[in-house]
Structure 1
């Protein structure tokens, strides 16, 4: 699973790094301890409405937006109606009511520098590990997103729509299987276009393709032990990712 992660790059860097066309409002600052229900940056592709009347306009625009980490299904009565859906198992996402519509056409990429996982010892004690590509190389998590409409907000209220996201997970692979039985689905850059394109129908084939690619990417990731301070949500500094021991 993935319950905490790091985004050390500023939004302006993410815009340049991932060829973003539209930069959303109120993008979050870098974080070394992003936790569920907090705002995180997400990359989504959206159909460009101008393309219908302007033949020179791109058919799809890439957006960097701020989203609540913890997907809120469109049918939810309100965002806190249940525990935050911050992870979704890729094996069953296409079947679950909370995720299946997003699998079809609302897929996201969540940029990160790395994530934390807790290694459980035979005696039950837990030791936090920081997993990354090393040398501050960016990684991408495959995710889903949803827009939830607040039925009590007026049409001109900026809070009328809530964008939320979840990170897909799969069985742990390679060296990461020794850390936890589950891991995020790492998005292969070469598959990013198909994954994000809302015109591509999300189906079992697409899910299987990115899951298999994530297994290969896992072989290149590294991890090390970090301090227990990361377990407290209020702690947020670059020192959290430093190795100890």
Structure 2
């Protein structure tokens, strides 16, 4: 994924009243196990009574369930399918009580051309420049039998691709519009039916995409030049194996 917005920009856009972590700098190629910006809700008591406060922080991409013996399991928990997230042991507790917003500039996906069958990366983003707000889950994991601090981790929920992205891939991250943010973050109010209804493909026409250089295949490459459009004359087919989503 691509993350370039400052903490102040993200907190203003997402209505976060508090920033608790120092977010990393710009990253034009953030891969699983990297630190993602996330917003979650915490119950606070103020002059107006008890309410929820949105908090902006970071979490390692790849959810580590509370019951895990070791954190390495998170490396393969970077996404969760909407169709099964409420039942999977790794995700069901977080889906019930620990949902979050994950703001990114855009994300990469890979397709295959007819001629040479080489993986072609595409950058997917909003043409108006606004962040994509991904539906996510977060969890805090503590090492058993040690006094080490908690590790906050997260995962991205995925849904079937919309018509715009289906030529590249059959899955995409679930995107949440502003009117869904409060219910998504609330750990106690939204019913299972309401939550499930939020996890749907993005409306056609919301996103743009263009092919980018294969240097993005190496997560050590981080620069803004990765976003530049490259000429690609191959007729893309859907990639049969998931790369991220």
Q: TM-score, normalised by structure 1?
A: 0.88
1:177–1:99: structure 2 CA closer, same or farther, 3 Å change rule? same
Instruction: Name 1:149's counterpart in structure 2.
Output: 142
Q: Is the Cα contact below 8 Å between 2:60 and 2:154 reproduced in 1? A: yes
Aligned to 1:208: 196
Do 1:90 and 1:207's aligned partners in 2 also have CA atoms closer than 8 Å? no
Q: 1:230–1:8: structure 2 CA closer, same or farther, 3 Å change rule?
A: same
SS at structure 2 position matched to 1:128: strand
Pairing of 1:52-201 with structure 2 (within 5 A): 54-57=46-49, 59-81=51-73, 83-122=75-114, 123-154=116-147, 159-201=148-190
The 2-side partners of 1:68 and 1:236 are apart by 18
Taking the aligned partners of 1:160 and 1:57, their CA distance within structure 2 comes to 31
Task: Give yes or no for contact 2:39–2:56 (8 Å, CA) kept in 1.
Answer: yes
Gapped regions of structure 2 (runs ≥ 5)? 232-245
CA distance in 2, matches of 1:58, 1:15: 21
Cross-structure match for 2:215: 229
Q: 1:47 Cα deviation (Å)?
A: 1.3
Superposition misfits of 4+ residues, deviation over 3 angstroms:
none
Q: What's the counterpart of residue 40 of structure 2?
A: 44
| Alignment gaps of 5+ in structure 1 | none
Q: 1:81 and 1:70, CA in 2 relative to 1: closer, same or farther beyond 3 A?
A: closer
CA distance in 2 between counterparts of 1:202 and 1:77 reads 31
Number of residue-to-residue matches in the alignment: 230
More helix by share: 1
